[in-house]
Amino acid sequence: MFDGFRLDRVELPEVTLRVRHGGTGTPVVLLHGHPRTHTTWHAVAPLLAQEHTVVCPDLRGYGRSTLPPDAPDHAQSSKRAMARDVVDLMSALGHDRFAVVGHDRGSLVAFRTAMDHPERVTHLVVMDGLPVVEHLERTDARFARAWWHWWFLAQDDKPAERVITADPDAWYRTPPPEDIGPGNHADVWAALRDPAVVHGMCEDYRAGLGIDRRHDEDDRAAGRRVGCPTLLLESTGDDLDIHGDPAAIWEPWLDRPLRHRQIGSGHHQAKEAPDEVAAALREFLAGADAPAV
């Protein structure tokens, strides 16, 4: 995997992130979702590296990145904290301004990075994601039934960790190694069998139902919006449209018109349609970026 890329562990103020980086050109950071690691990008990153410096970290609490001790309101796993990691990581690698791409839970981190650090982010790409408050305000029986894992993983009184770590092979399902790459498959399963990672993933969802929602609400009340060019990549085989048109939901959060493109895949776009995803990203990133704030 990742021919020509370098694998490092970068110490930041609060955490140590495992990161894969390579290529040359304008920088772009790729953020994975649950329950994956940075290796989910193994087919996309080399295609982007032909024109960009590509940075792929494990989010804090995922893969082989660390997580600080639990804090009140699960703040150590907030998307604001993860966004600070992204900015600190890119600074450590020598990148003042960069594009940020996030899938699934990573899309929440990418969005928060663009909101909190507009002077650093040139382009924002969200893949199968919406601001968390938009999901929670639209929650109904259909959404709760389809996205039930949000509520299960976020429980405090009856921790999901006990169920998952008792038999992770029964809990999680991934495609076979030949479908997602042997190295990627091995990396994901090493993480899923690590109790510390399982706890980190649950804390991500606990933060999502509380502190992350409040951060979104505060931004909306203050009229803050994303100022950089933004692209939404929506899987044709996923259910991001469970609340209606996701592009319409995104529009009030953006200063610029949203670019919206559908990808012919299921939820895991980087695995199922890497060429299409890479082409969409390369086209979008070739456009004008946002002026520095």
Distances in Å between the Cα of 179 and the Cα atoms of 16, 171, 220, 265 are 30, 20, 41, 14
Among residues 8, 73, 267, 289, the one annotated as catalytic is 267
Among residues 32, 95, 103, 104, the one annotated as catalytic is 104
Separation of alpha carbons 6 and 55, rounded Å: 10
Rg of the chain over all Cα atoms, to the nearest angstrom: 18
DSSP 5: -
Whether 70 and 7 have beta carbons less than 8 Å apart is answered as no
Judge whether 289 counts as a catalytic residue.
no
Q: Where are the beta strands (DSSP E) in the chain?
A: 6-11, 16-23, 26-31, 52-57, 98-103, 121-127, 230-235, 259-263
Tokens of 287: 């456009």
Q: Quick one: which of 30, 49, 196, 48 has its CA closest to 127? A: 30
Judge whether 104 counts as a catalytic residue.
yes
Separation of alpha carbons 164 and 193, rounded Å: 9
CB atoms within 10 A of CB 58: 27
CA angle 284, 289, 292 (to 5 degrees): 155
Positions marked catalytic: 104, 267
